[in-house]
Amino acid sequence: MNHYETVAEAMRYIRAHALQQPDLEEVAAHACLSPYHFQRVFTEWAGVSPKKFLQFLTLRHAKAILAQAVSLAETASVSGLSGTGRLHDLFLQIEGLTPGDYQRQGEQLTIRYSMASCQFGNYLVAATPKGICHLHFYLDEQEALQELVVQWPKATLIRQQCPLYEQVQAFFETYQQLQPGKIPLHLKGTPFQLKVWEALLRIPEGRLSSYAHLAGGIGRPTASRAVGTAIGNNPIAFLIPCHRVIKSVGGIGEYRWGSERKMAMIGWEAARHTPEMTAEAPHSQLPLFGRQT
- Give me the pLDDT at residue 101, please: 66
Give the model's confidence band at 122: pLDDT under 50 very low, under 70 low, under 90 confident, else very high.
very high
List, as own/partner pairs, every contact residues 256-260 make where C-beta atoms lie below 8 angstroms and the sequence separation is at least 24, other chains included. Answer: 256/232, 257/136, 257/137, 258/137
* pTM for the structure as a whole: 0.64
Range name among 14-23, 27-36, 230-239, 243-252 with the lowest pLDDT average? 243-252
The whole-chain average pLDDT of the chain stands at: 81
174-229 pLDDT, tens per residue?
Answer: 655 545 457 888 887 777 888 899 899 888 888 899 999 999 998 888 888 889 98
Question: Which CATH architecture group holds 3-104?
Answer: Orthogonal Bundle (1.10)
- Residue ranges per structural domain of the chain: 3-104, 110-172
Catalytic residue among 32, 118, 133, 242: 242
Q: Is the pLDDT of residue 289 over 50?
A: no
Is 32 assigned a catalytic role?
no
Q: Is the pLDDT of residue 102 over 80?
A: no
- Give me the pLDDT at residue 257, please: 93
8 A C-beta contact, residue 223 and residue 247: no
3-state secondary structure of 157: strand
Q: Is the pLDDT of residue 34 over 50?
A: yes
Give the model's confidence band at 250: pLDDT under 50 very low, under 70 low, under 90 confident, else very high.
low
- In sequence order, which residues have a C-beta less than 8 Å from that of residue 171 and are 6 or more positions away? 178, 182, 183, 239
Give the model's confidence band at 53: pLDDT under 50 very low, under 70 low, under 90 confident, else very high.
confident
Sign of the CA dihedral with 227 first, then 231, 232, and 233 last? positive
Rounded Cα distance between 200 and 265, Å, is 15
133-165 pLDDT, tens per residue?
Answer: 999 999 999 999 999 988 888 888 999 988 888
Same fold, 3-104 and 110-172: no
69-97 pLDDT, tens per residue?
Answer: 678 888 888 888 888 888 777 766 665 55
Q: In this structure, which CATH number among 3.40.50.12500, 2.40.10.10, 3.30.160.70, 3.40.50.300 belongs to the domain 110-172?
A: 3.30.160.70
- In sequence order, which residues have a C-beta less than 8 Å from that of residue 182 and are 6 or more positions away? 167, 171, 289
Beta bridge partners of residue 185, listed in sequence order: 132
Alpha helices, H only, the chain: 3-16, 24-30, 35-46, 50-66, 72-78, 84-94, 99-104, 141-151, 163-173, 191-200, 211-217, 224-232, 259-271
Q: What is the mean pLDDT of residues 2-13?
A: 84
8 A C-beta contact, residue 216 and residue 293: no
Q: What is the mean pLDDT of residues 248-255?
A: 76
